[in-house]
Amino acid sequence: MVDQRVEGVQAWAALSGYPAPLLEQLRGIHKAQGLGAWLIGRYPAAHSLRSDRALGALAQSLKSEFLRSAPSLRKVCYDAKIQTMRHALGLHTHRIVVHGGRNAARHEVRIASLFRNCPEPFLRMIVAHELAHLRHSEHDRSFYQLCVHIEPDYHRLELETRVYLVHLALGGETLWQ
Q: What is the pLDDT of residues 76-129, one digit of tens each?
A: 999 988 876 555 688 777 777 787 888 877 889 999 999 999 999 999 999 999
Q: Report, as an integer, the average pLDDT of 138-161.
A: 97
Torsion of CA 92, 151, 164, 94, to 10 degrees: 0
**Selection from 120, 121, 117 nearest residue 151 by Cα:** 121
Phi, psi (rounded to 5 degrees) for 131: -70, -35
What pLDDT was estimated at residue 90?
Answer: 81
- For the chain, domain boundaries: 2-169
Q: How far apart are CA 109 and CA 113, in angstroms?
A: 12
Burial grade of 137 (CB within 10 A; 0-12, 13-18, 19 or more): exposed
Mean pLDDT score across all residues of the chain:
89
Q: What is the pTM of this model?
A: 0.87
